[in-house]
Amino acid sequence: MRIGELSERTGTARRLLRYYEEQGLIIASRGANGYRDYDEATVDRVIQVRGLLDAGLPTRIIKQILPCLDKPRAIYFPDATPEMLATLEAERDRMARRAECLLRNRDAISEYLDAVRDYNRV
């Protein structure tokens, strides 16, 4: 599929799809005319990437965790250097802390909303 369709199906500006490619987050083959040609799986990947960006991860880190996300686990572990593994662990823990923070605050908001509803019902 070409960039227009991918843009539409992921709700992502074309500009950003090119940017993600530049950052190594997605790949595109090229037609004879130079047009980008995307794989069907790229739709999910873009959605993944957007979710992580929205959750505060920079493209640099997202790129590092991408190998973890391939559906059928890749047979080859080319970049599994000790440093990379340490980075992944650290980043995984950081994500867990972020999620905790979000859930804690989500609960606080819910409680607040409940309190307001109680107050307004009286």
Partner DNA sequence: TCGAACCCTCACATGGATGTGAAGGTCCAG
Partner DNA sequence: CTGGACCTTCACATCCATGTGAGGGTTCGA
Residues that bind a copy of itself (CB under 8 A): 48, 51-56, 65, 67-69, 73, 77, 80, 85, 88-89, 91-92, 95-99, 101-103, 105-106, 108-113, 115-116, 119-120
Q: Is 97 exposed, middle or buried (0-12, 13-18, 19+ CB in 10 A)?
A: exposed
Residue 11: contacted member of a copy of itself, DNA, none (CB under 5 to 8 Å, by partner type)? none
The CA-based dihedral angle spanning residues 57, 62, 64, 66, taken in that order and rounded to the nearest 10 degrees: 140
The SS3 assignment for 72 reads: coil
Q: Bridge-partner residues for 36, per DSSP?
A: 30
Instruction: Select 5 or 111, whichever has its Cβ closest to DNA.
Output: 5
Stretch that binds DNA, among 34-42, 79-87, 99-107, 112-120 (CB under 7 A): 34-42
